[in-house]
């Protein structure tokens, strides 16, 4: 009894676990139960039961309710689908003026709106594309195809790659200095020489539209939420779900609304990139000290000046993290949106991965990553730029960058012109190095991969088999063996013990949604993969972080590495693992582990750093050795922050697990991928996405609640 009073929490947890295991053992696996592979539940089968709700028939294999809950929400995807179609094709038809046919036409409102948005996006993308690569679509937009047909000069010539490269370097020089200029120049030259110019510029044009738009919308909505509590309350749940929603899942509904192509990709990218921007804007604005706001007011700022000259610049740090996130998401989406027909590097990357041409995929992936890093650094430099008021510059000095650029343009044009004589036959390499006609190292990489594969095949294979047979399969079987009721009891119980009744209810709602959807088994597989990834990532990240923390330089170095890795689009991680492990769960899991280790490491270092120096000194004066200081002082205090890292790790892991469907997994991601090519896929994709988001949110809720309590307990805010 004494012990029970001393450690009440421990016993509560023990009690919960006992109930959980008791339920697991008490509820037998039904004989008819088997994991459904493929999409067997859509095949009509006399063993299936069905019910009709809202006029929709839902078919499913019935089990004991304790084992698996019936899919009472099975109608939801179909209903979402029908609603979308209704909105698009039937709701609120209105008269719209049609420019080409010079007549009024009746169209549903939503369809008209989406078409208008589509045409604006397409125009913007084409404009940048025409400037960078040449073309006539912009001119056509202002005139007509006939005009272009009869006037052969009406075509934008496109910039030679030399000019773009010089322009990028000059811009980088203006923003930051020689270092960045050199980097920008090298990136551009690399892209060109390796024959990735056209797809790279296509990707760039997509990003130059998507990123600024996402930034503006995110900032605007963030400001609105900051100014108005009601807007914030309305946005908050959406933001939460979007944070953990896999990017794949958004593709499908957008496909229905906006069709296939670059414009749809831009819109989807905005949907994914805007929420973190809103969140970080809000966080940043909230953190502005009240005295700074008062100082602004006393300087006589009106509301507009206060927002744009005081609040936003002061909140710059968080807003910049938001910009960084936007750019990250944009590049990540640049690849993923290739599924819905976006052109560019992403498309090449997917194609190469599909053909298992690792070398080509590597080159495309490297290009994306390089452009991503470049844009990230440039946006950062732009925000940190300082004006010199005392330089007393001459006219030439003030405008020297413009001069340099005009010189570069002149030289570029001359070079391209000379090139047209020099490379009379074949391609004018001084104008544009055509796709796949540059230097390619693909063969080298492919041979390297082959060599590694041939040489280490035995070991890799042995490791692979061991991991799958000894670790992954049993773990998966264990997860699937859990009766639904036992899982729910465990999760809700954990919610109650951590956050009380409120947390328990939230978690219960989220879990029930998944349990009542038709995809409980798949969700379990997703969870198992994510759990495995998270556990390994945390062990690695925690160890690496702690080791690096011991030395200031290594810690900074590690944070830098994390920064760079984070800039890589998530898809790029799949390339090296496919090189080594082929198309197996191991590949996916290793990609998951690599990707999810980033936040684990980062938060470990940051958490340890946040321990106040005074405590450090106090501990040292108490005579602790290094190890004692780590275990008695630093870990306990850094633990809440490290748990937030765990939270991020879970989100990252879930993302990668879902993307892993591309390699071939049997989880929710597989269905999302399938929904892409299904004409009724919108509802399914969205519901699946929400399921994944909810898995993330369950952990998110539990961890955050715990962290808040713990921080309160420790007195850190």
- CB of 2 vs other proteins, minimal distance in Å: 44
Q: Which is nearer to other proteins, 300 or 426 (CB)?
A: 300
Q: Which stretch binds other proteins (CB under 8 A): 68-76, 78-86, 286-294, 655-663?
A: 286-294
Q: Which stretch binds other proteins (CB under 8 A): 201-209, 236-244, 291-299, 652-660?
A: 291-299
Three-state SS string across 399-461, please?
Answer: CHHHHHHHHHHHHHHHHHHHHHHHCCCCCCCCCCCCCCCCCCCHHHHHHHHHHHHHHHHHHHH
Which residues sit opposite 52 in a β-bridge?
Answer: 57
Least Å distance between CB 395 and other proteins? 15
Considering only 385-393, 581-589, 651-659, 697-705, which stretch makes contact with other proteins by CB under 8 A?
385-393
Residue span binding other proteins (CB under 8 A) among the ranges 35-43, 113-121, 307-315, 362-370: 307-315
Residue with tokens 């264990």: 478
Minimum CB separation of residue 217 from other proteins in Å reads 23
Distance of closest approach, residue 386 Cβ to other proteins, in angstroms: 7
Residue 389 backbone dihedrals phi, psi, to 5 degrees: -90, -15
Residue 250 beta carbon to other proteins: minimum distance, rounded to whole angstroms? 35
Supply the Cα-derived Rg of the chain in whole angstroms. Answer: 28
Q: How far is the CB of 261 from other proteins (least distance, A)?
A: 40
Closer by beta carbon to other proteins, 314 or else 604: 314
Q: How far is the CB of 383 from other proteins (least distance, A)?
A: 9
Judged by CB under 8 A, the stretch of 198-206, 296-304, 580-588, 696-704 that binds other proteins is 296-304
The pair of three-digit structure tokens given for residue 78, joined into one six-digit string: 């179909």
Q: How many CB atoms lie within 10 A of CB 716?
A: 14
- Pick the closer one to other proteins by CB: 385 or 502: 385
Residues binding other proteins: number (CB under 8 A): 21
- Would you give the binding string for other proteins spanning residues 388-427, x where CB under 8 A is met? -xx-------------------------------------
Task: Find out whether 578 and 353 touch, Cβ atoms under 8 Å.
Answer: yes
Q: Shortest Cβ distance from residue 607 to other proteins (Å)?
A: 24
The Cα 569–Cα 564 span in angstroms is 11
Instruction: Closer to other proteins by CB, 315 or 611: give it.
Output: 315
Is the Cβ of residue 105 or residue 316 nearer to other proteins in the bound state?
316
DSSP assignment of 133-184, as one string? H-BSHHHHHHS-HHHHHH-TT-SB----HHHHHHHHHHHHHHHT-HHHHHHH
Q: Within positions 47 to 106, which residues make up the interface with other proteins, using CB under 8 A?
A: none
Q: Which stretch binds other proteins (CB under 8 A): 308-316, 348-356, 455-463, 481-489?
A: 308-316
Site for other proteins in 340-359 (CB under 8 A): none
C-alpha span between 510 and 695 (Å, rounded)? 8
CB of 647 to other proteins, least distance (A): 29
Residue 29 and residue 478 in contact, taking contact as beta carbons nearer than 8 Å: no
The least distance separating other proteins from the CB of residue 473, rounded to whole angstroms, comes to 55
Give the shortest CB-314-to-other proteins separation in angstroms. 6
299 touches other proteins (CB under 8 A): yes
Contact 222, 278 (CB under 8 A): yes
Mention every residue, 6+ apart, whose C-beta is less than 8 A from residue 249: 658, 672, 685, 686, 688, 689, 690, 692, 693
Q: From CA 506, how far away is CA 513, in angstroms rounded?
A: 11
Is residue 633 a contact partner of residue 608, using CB atoms and an 8 Å limit? no
Q: Pick one of 1, 298, 614, 621: the residue that binds other proteins (CB under 8 A).
A: 298
3-class SS of residue 551:
coil
Which residues neighbour 455 within 8 Å (Cβ) at sequence distance 6 or greater?
none
Is 390 or 627 the residue whose CB approaches other proteins more closely? 390
Q: What is the dihedral of CA 693, 699, 700, 705, to 10 degrees?
A: 150
Parallel, antiparallel or unpaired: strands 49-53 and 93-98:
unpaired
Taking the complex as a whole, the smallest distance from the CB of residue 391 to other proteins amounts, in Å, to 11
Stretch that binds other proteins, among 65-73, 157-165, 301-309, 419-427 (CB under 8 A): 301-309
Task: Report the residue number, 240 or 306, with the smaller CB distance to other proteins.
Answer: 306
- One of 47, 101, 386, 625 touching other proteins (CB under 8 A): 386
Nearer to other proteins among residue 388 and residue 454 (C-beta): 388
The smaller minimum CB distance to other proteins, of residues 310 and 326, is found at 310
The SS3 assignment for 593 reads helix
Name which position in 139, 148, 301, 468 contacts other proteins (CB under 8 A): 301
Footprint on residues 158-177 left by other proteins (CB under 8 A) = none
297 counts as binding other proteins under rule CB under 8 A: yes
Closest to 571 in 3D by CA, of 372, 375, 277, 376: 372
Residues of this chain, 471-500, that bind other proteins according to CB under 8 A: none
Span from 141-149, 300-308, 525-533, 675-683 in contact with other proteins (CB under 8 A): 300-308
Residue span 309-328 as binding mask against other proteins, x where in contact by CB under 8 A, dash where not: xx--xx-x------------
Among 295, 410, 539, 618, indicate the residue that binds other proteins (CB under 8 A). Answer: 295
Residues 214-243 interacting with other proteins (rule: CB under 8 A): none
> How distant, in Å, are the alpha carbons of 89, 112, 167, 330 from that of 128?
32, 25, 15, 16
For 122-139, letters b (16+ CB in 10 Å) and e give bebbbbbbbbbbebbbbb
Residue pair 569/366 in contact by the 8 Å Cβ criterion? no
DSSP states along 452-505: HHHHHHHHHHHHHHHIIIIIIHHHHHHHHHS-HHHHHHHHHHHHHHHHHHHHHH
Q: Is 302 in the site for other proteins (CB under 8 A)?
A: yes
Beta carbon nearer to other proteins, 312 or 507: 312
User: Does 291 participate in binding other proteins (rule CB under 8 A)?
Assistant: yes
Query: What is the DSSP annotation of 225-274?
Result: HHH-HHHHHHHHHHHHHHHHS-HHHHHHHHHHHH-SSHHHHHHHHHHHHH
Q: Are 134 and 277 in contact (CB under 8 A)?
A: no
Residue closest to 682 by CA, chosen among 237, 248, 287? 248
What value, to the nearest 5°, has the Cα angle with vertex 511 and ends 675 and 654? 55
Closer residue to other proteins in complex, CB, 60/382: 382
What letter would DSSP give residue 311? I
Contact window for other proteins (CB under 8 A) among 64-72, 221-229, 302-310, 661-669:
302-310
Work out how close the CB of 380 gets to other proteins at its nearest, in angstroms, rounded to a whole number.
14
Closer to other proteins at the Cβ: 387 or 621? 387
The least CB distance from residue 313 to other proteins, in Å, is: 4
Cβ distance to other proteins smaller for residue 27 or 292: 292
Q: How far is the CB of 287 from other proteins (least distance, A)?
A: 11
| Token representation of residue 228 | 């108005």
Contact residues: other proteins, CB under 8 A: 289, 291-292, 294-295, 297-302, 305, 309-310, 313-314, 316, 386-387, 389-390
């Amino acid at each position: 009894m004494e012990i029970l009073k001393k450690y009440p929490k421990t016993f509560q947890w023990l009690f919960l676990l006992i109930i959980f295991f008791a339920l697991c053992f008490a509820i037998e696996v039904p004989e008819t139960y088997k994991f459904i592979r493929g999409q067997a539940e859509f095949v009509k089968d006399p063993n299936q039961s069905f019910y009709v709700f809202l006029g929709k028939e839902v078919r499913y294999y019935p089990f004991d309710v304790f084992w698996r809950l019936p899919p009472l929400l099975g109608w939801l995807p179909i209903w979402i689908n029908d609603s979308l179609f209704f909105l698009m094709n039937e709701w609120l038809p209105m008269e719209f003026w049609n420019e080409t046919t010079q007549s009024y036409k009746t169209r549903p409102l939503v369809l008209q709106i989406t078409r208008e948005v589509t045409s604006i996006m397409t125009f913007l993308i084409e404009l940048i594309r025409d400037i960078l690569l040449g073309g006539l679509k912009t001119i056509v937009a202002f005139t007509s195809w006939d005009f272009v047909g009869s006037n052969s000069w009406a075509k934008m010539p496109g910039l030679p790659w030399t000019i773009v490269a010089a322009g990028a370097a000059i811009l980088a020089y203006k923003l930051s200095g020689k270092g960045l200029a050199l980097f920008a120049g090298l990136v551009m030259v690399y892209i060109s020489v390796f024959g990735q110019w056209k797809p790279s510029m296509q990707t760039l044009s997509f990003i130059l539209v998507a990123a600024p738009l996402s930034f503006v919308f995110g900032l605007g909505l963030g400001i609105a939420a900051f100014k108005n509590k009601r807007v914030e309350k309305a946005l908050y749940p959406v933001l939460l779900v979007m944070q953990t929603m896999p990017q794949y899942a958004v593709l499908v509904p957008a496909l229905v609304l906006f069709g296939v192509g670059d414009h749809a990709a831009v819109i989807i990218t905005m949907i994914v990139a805007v929420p973190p921007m809103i969140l970080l804007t809000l966080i940043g604005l909230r953190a502005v000290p009240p005295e700074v706001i008062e100082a602004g007011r006393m300087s006589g700022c009106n509301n507009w000046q206060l927002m744009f000259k005081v609040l936003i610049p002061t909140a710059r740090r968080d807003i910049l993290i938001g910009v960084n996130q936007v750019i990250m998401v944009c590049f990540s989406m640049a690849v993923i949106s290739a599924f819905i027909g976006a052109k560019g590097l992403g498309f090449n990357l997917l194609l190469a991965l599909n053909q298992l041409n690792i070398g080509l995929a590597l080159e495309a992936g490297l290009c994306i990553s390089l452009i991503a890093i470049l844009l990230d650094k440039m946006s950062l430099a732009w925000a940190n730029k300082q004006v010199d008021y005392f330089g007393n510059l001459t006219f030439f000095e003030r405008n020297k960058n413009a001069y340099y650029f005009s010189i570069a343009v002149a030289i570029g044009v001359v070079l391209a012109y000379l090139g047209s004589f020099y490379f009379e036959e074949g391609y004018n390499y001084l104008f544009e190095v055509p796709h796949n006609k540059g230097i390619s190292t693909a063969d080298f990489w492919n041979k390297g991969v082959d060599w590694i594969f041939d040489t280490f095949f035995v070991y890799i294979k042995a490791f692979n088999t061991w991991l799958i047979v000894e670790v992954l399969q049993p773990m998966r079987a264990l997860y699937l063996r859990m009766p639904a009721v036992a899982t729910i009891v465990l999760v809700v119980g954990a919610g109650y013990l951590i956050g009380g009744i409120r947390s328990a209810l939230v978690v219960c709602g989220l879990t029930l949604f998944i349990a009542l959807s038709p995809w409980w088994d798949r969700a379990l597989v997703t969870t198992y993969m994510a759990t495995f990834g998270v556990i390994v990532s945390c062990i690695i990240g925690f160890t690496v972080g702690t080791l690096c923390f011991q030395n200031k330089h290594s810690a900074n170095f590690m944070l830098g590495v994390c920064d760079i890795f984070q800039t890589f689009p998530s898809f790029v991680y799949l390339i090296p693992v496919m090189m080594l492990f082929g198309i197996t769960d191991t590949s996916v899991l290793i990609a998951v582990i690599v990707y999810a280790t980033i936040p684990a490491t980062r938060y470990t270092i940051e958490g340890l750093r946040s321990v106040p120096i005074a405590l450090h000194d106090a501990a040292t004066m108490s005579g602790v050795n290094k190890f004692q200081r780590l275990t008695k002082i630093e870990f306990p205090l850094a633990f809440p922050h490290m748990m937030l890292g765990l939270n991020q790790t879970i989100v990252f892991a879930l993302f990668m697990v879902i993307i892993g469907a591309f390699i071939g997994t049997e989880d929710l991601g597989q269905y999302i991928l399938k929904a892409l090519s299904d004409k009724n896929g919108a509802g399914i994709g969205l519901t699946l996405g929400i399921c994944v988001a909810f898995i993330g949110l369950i952990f998110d809720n539990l961890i955050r609640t715990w962290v808040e309590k713990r921080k309160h307990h420790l007195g850190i805010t």
